Structure 1
Amino acid sequence: MKLILKKAKVLDASSQYHKQTVDIKITKGIIEDIAPEITQNDYQNIEFDNLHISNGWIDTSVCFGEPGFEDAETLLNGLNTAAKSGFTQVAIQPNTKPITDNQAQIEFIKNRSLHHLVEAFPIGALTKKSEGLDLADLYDMKNAGAVAFGDYNCSIANANIMKIALQYVQDFNGLVIAFSQEDSLKGKGVVNEGVAATHLGLKGIPSLAEEIAIARNLFLLEYTGGKLHIPTISTQKSVKLIQEAKAKGLHVTCSVSVHHLTLTDEKLSDFNTNTKVLPPLRTEQDRLALLEAVKDNTIDCITTDHHPVNIEYKNLEFDLAHFGTIGLESAFGALNKVLTLECIIEKLTFGRTILGKQKSSIKQGNLANMTLFNPNTSWVFDTKNIISKSKNAIFINEPMQGEVYGVINNNKISLNNNERK
């Protein structure tokens, strides 16, 4: 690789070139030089309108299906989708078939994604088959490359199992991911319990179902110590609970999805099953509280919670349709409407800290791990913008602000066509 990025505005608070427009020379995947202008004939010049660059983005929650659900998504196409969407690293959920609950399954994902531009970080299931009954082989999975342990969109009903997990992983500095939902309160609910659900005649999931589970898990964390990550919080009260836990000094982090920051349960009005997500879209009051929590760092990172679902599981009555939306392709364009660029980049890169991965920085001598983008273009998200095999996108027909040009990582580059018609 021999590249020169021309007239790139750097957005990296850890770099001396932060907010400067410079040329960047990259040789064999290493940042060799940064200067106001660089010219070298045997190098490929990369030029885009209003080019901005940041450290490569990481998504802490994606589902890629393989093995077992290749009809919904494959690892290779999922990683390609992540690259085209601006992500250089992704943490892959264990909801495969079989469930990723052992060393062999972790090694399968690592080997299948080896040498790709996008680095794949497998999340191991916390319990065997994600059934919530017995702990999975956590230590073996850690040694094989698992970055954390959690059962995707499954709450652990047995408090003792969660307690033992938090205690056990401390022996090898492991991270427990606790999707928080009290299933007995969720019942047969499919959307947020509120005015929208009543108008539509749909069974509601109360905010309390999330909040009581978070409160329990935080009490357990206070008792055991260790590290806990709470993914995709969705309510105002959840924010307050995590604020209080952090004030106590508990080692807890949390994420929020792009769609919970940008959409509300008013989006449900046409019974579009692509809006059926877990946790459900909440109220405007909740959305605004989540945005404030992102800004004041109560919420540590933003995820797409990318979850491809085949059309036969979405093209059903709302009650019967599966939960989930894809979100990689629309992430930046949606976030750029509600948050500042600096905040977006911070929250799309902080996942490395949560998962214990090395931070990157745009400095001479460092590996080039970068996202290239333009924050100023306006467009409407359409099916033609979907790279995923499944098309269950919650943001179809939504206006977007800003677009991704491509990514550089692992001595490779992926650039987008970026022709929007």
Structure 2
Amino acid sequence: MDNILISSAQLILPGHPQNGKIVDILIEKGCISRIAPNIKPTTKKLHIVDGKGAVVSAGFFDLHANFGEPGLETKEDITTGIAAAAAGGYTGVAVYPNTNPPIHSRSEVALVVNTAKGNIVDVYPVGTISKKREGKELAELYDMQKAGAIAFSDGNQAVQQAGLMGRALLYAKGFEGLVISFAEDETVAGGHQMNEGQMSTYLGMKGKPNLAESLMVSRDLFLAEYNDARVHFTCISTAESVDLIKKAKAKGLKVTCDVAAHNLVYTDEEVVGFDSNFKVNPPLRTKKDIKVLLKGLKEGTIDAVVSQHTPHEVEYKNVEFHIAQEGIVGLQTTLPFLIRAGLTPEDIIRYLVVQPRQVVGKDIPTLEEGSEANLVLFDMHAKWRLTAATNKSKSENSPVFGQELIGKVKLVINHSQLVENK
């Protein structure tokens, strides 16, 4: 990587001595050598990036993404997943075990860690809670953590057995592991196609009620309290879940949670056109739910925003809505979605940079002189399109494919590597 000068960018990072100021940042040999209001180039061998009107901060960190490797590489492999993540502003990604085989032993964890090693994006595998994600027998959590697993979840298959979930929380507590709950009671949610409400009734489709999520949130909060253990809820989508977690935090429970970016901007009304790219799990909810989710972010109930990047081949999406697979590719569109939702640059740094790393105990890049450069430069107002040319994922299942988006990542730097979006 050439030496780089980022000029006239607004640095936003809580606690940084230059927070909020317009600065130049000189990066030499992969490290930040100088931060000052005006740095004059001293050599011709310098790649200058105009940061005027843009924000520079530590690289984004995603707590929930799906790559296909191992076993489902036709959806996404680690290489293409990293490319999509870097294009979206991420320098760290937690990948879920929705693979075949699942990431349910140290072998799969080691495969992901070793395959991703040395790339611009740090990839952290999330191991399963149960063997084969079957929800019957506890997986080897400690072995997986020693091999590099950052947390434990059964991915998009919620743990239905309360006893198993309770044992997982208690066991992980012994080695400071983090158990992640995907809150869905299958006996209530079974056979759903979308959110249960006026729109599902109008369309004559089976709906998943908010109760399916809030029941499981309530259960796992009780289990976490009983075992005095940490729990993290991923992709909460309902007003009831926000209320339950808010009360749990007020009681002093060790609970954190995140929300998917698309659940902050789209409602179940989008499904009226039967576009399968709006079929996600948890489903798109109502305007009331979105309002409460955004309030939950502002108040600190919700800790982070995730991409829930879920790639699928065209044959799994370009079909009738009721048989289409759930999920969208989200790594490159999280920033535009958050801007559309009305978040400020400070909010974005809080929910994509600082608090996601705090949830999993990772150090926040300092952006200090002498430190390794781990940063993102993004423009809140720049326009671009997600097209076959700009899309870095293997898959194209996005509701905004081909549309003009506001909010563009200009570059990412990490591990002496640069990705720049032209």
Q: Is 2:263 aligned against 1:260?
A: yes
Please say if residues 92 and 122 of structure 1, whose CA atoms lie closer than 8 Å, have aligned partners that are also in contact.
Answer: yes
Please say if residues 329 and 385 of structure 1, whose CA atoms lie closer than 8 Å, have aligned partners that are also in contact.
Answer: no
Q: Counterpart in 2 of 1:193?
A: 196
Q: How far has the Cα of 1:31 moved from its partner?
A: 1.3
Q: How far has the Cα of 1:400 moved from its partner?
A: 2.5
Q: Counterpart in 2 of 1:72?
A: 75
TM alignment of 1:283-298, pairs within 5 A: 283-298=286-301
Please say if residues 196 and 209 of structure 2, whose CA atoms lie closer than 8 Å, have aligned partners that are also in contact.
Answer: yes
CA separation in 2, counterparts of 1:359 and 1:379?
29
Unaligned segments of structure 1, at least 5 residues: none
Please say if residues 166 and 176 of structure 1, whose CA atoms lie closer than 8 Å, have aligned partners that are also in contact.
Answer: yes
Determine which of 211, 222, 243 is the counterpart of 2:246.
243
Please say if residues 259 and 302 of structure 2, whose CA atoms lie closer than 8 Å, have aligned partners that are also in contact.
Answer: yes
Question: Could you report, residue by residue, the CA deviation over 1:162-189 in whole angstroms, capped at 9, with x for unpaired residues?
Answer: 1111110111100000101110001211
CA separation in 1, counterparts of 2:180 and 2:413?
29
Determine which of 323, 331, 338 is the counterpart of 1:320.
323
Moved more, 371-380 or 23-32: 371-380
CA separation in 2, counterparts of 1:158 and 1:213?
11
Please say if residues 257 and 302 of structure 1, whose CA atoms lie closer than 8 Å, have aligned partners that are also in contact.
Answer: yes
Q: How far has the Cα of 1:131 moved from its partner?
A: 0.6
Q: How far has the Cα of 1:385 moved from its partner?
A: 3.6
Q: How far has the Cα of 1:48 moved from its partner?
A: 4.3
Question: Could you report, residue by residue, the CA deviation over 1:74-105 in whole angstroms, capped at 9, with x for unpaired residues?
Answer: 10011011001111110011111111000010
CA separation in 2, counterparts of 1:381 and 1:211?
34
Please say if residues 57 and 371 of structure 1, whose CA atoms lie closer than 8 Å, have aligned partners that are also in contact.
Answer: yes
Q: Counterpart in 2 of 1:340?
A: 344
CA separation in 1, counterparts of 2:387 and 2:78?
23
Q: How far has the Cα of 1:71 moved from its partner?
A: 0.8
Q: Counterpart in 1 of 2:415?
A: 410
Moved more, 360-369 or 290-299: 360-369
Determine which of 375, 379, 383 is the counterpart of 1:374.
379
CA separation in 2, counterparts of 1:267 and 1:395?
12
Identical counterparts, % of pairs:
39
The change in CA–CA distance for 1:43 and 1:379 in structure 2 (over 3 A counts) is closer
Q: Is 2:85 aligned against 1:82?
A: yes
Q: How far has the Cα of 1:373 moved from its partner?
A: 1.0
Question: Could you report, residue by residue, the CA deviation over 1:273-296 in whole angstroms, capped at 9, with x for unpaired residues?
Answer: 111100000000001110111111
Question: TM-score scaled by structure 2?
Answer: 0.96
SS of the aligned residue for 2:154 comes to coil
SS of the aligned residue for 1:175 comes to coil
TM alignment of 1:153-168, pairs within 5 A: 153-168=156-171
Please say if residues 65 and 74 of structure 1, whose CA atoms lie closer than 8 Å, have aligned partners that are also in contact.
Answer: yes
Please say if residues 28 and 411 of structure 1, whose CA atoms lie closer than 8 Å, have aligned partners that are also in contact.
Answer: yes
TM alignment of 1:13-412, pairs within 5 A: 13-38=14-39, 39-41=41-43, 42-337=45-340, 338-349=342-353, 350-379=355-384, 381-382=386-387, 384-396=389-401, 399-412=404-417
Unaligned segments of structure 2, at least 5 residues: none
Please say if residues 7 and 52 of structure 2, whose CA atoms lie closer than 8 Å, have aligned partners that are also in contact.
Answer: no
CA separation in 1, counterparts of 2:385 and 2:203?
27
Q: How far has the Cα of 1:24 moved from its partner?
A: 1.0
Moved more, 229-238 or 21-30: 21-30
SS of the aligned residue for 1:333 comes to helix
Question: Could you report, residue by residue, the CA deviation over 1:347-394 in whole angstroms, capped at 9, with x for unpaired residues?
Answer: 001211111111112221222110111111245545544221111113
The change in CA–CA distance for 1:46 and 1:377 in structure 2 (over 3 A counts) is closer
Q: Counterpart in 1 of 2:9?
A: 8
Q: How far has the Cα of 1:26 moved from its partner?
A: 1.4
SS of the aligned residue for 2:34 comes to strand
Q: How far has the Cα of 1:317 moved from its partner?
A: 1.8
CA separation in 2, counterparts of 1:33 and 1:377?
27
SS of the aligned residue for 1:332 comes to helix
SS of the aligned residue for 2:235 comes to coil
CA separation in 1, counterparts of 2:399 and 2:303?
23
CA separation in 2, counterparts of 1:382 and 1:248?
47
Moved more, 328-337 or 169-178: 328-337
Please say if residues 51 and 377 of structure 2, whose CA atoms lie closer than 8 Å, have aligned partners that are also in contact.
Answer: no
Question: TM-score scaled by structure 1?
Answer: 0.96
Please say if residues 8 and 52 of structure 2, whose CA atoms lie closer than 8 Å, have aligned partners that are also in contact.
Answer: no
Alignment length, in residue pairs?
Answer: 417
Q: How far has the Cα of 1:269 moved from its partner?
A: 1.1
SS of the aligned residue for 1:100 comes to coil
Please say if residues 326 and 394 of structure 1, whose CA atoms lie closer than 8 Å, have aligned partners that are also in contact.
Answer: no
CA separation in 2, counterparts of 1:218 and 1:145?
27
Please say if residues 130 and 138 of structure 2, whose CA atoms lie closer than 8 Å, have aligned partners that are also in contact.
Answer: yes
CA separation in 1, counterparts of 2:308 and 2:381?
25
The change in CA–CA distance for 1:199 and 1:398 in structure 2 (over 3 A counts) is farther
Moved more, 37-46 or 276-285: 37-46
CA separation in 2, counterparts of 1:108 and 1:270?
41
CA separation in 2, counterparts of 1:26 and 1:314?
43
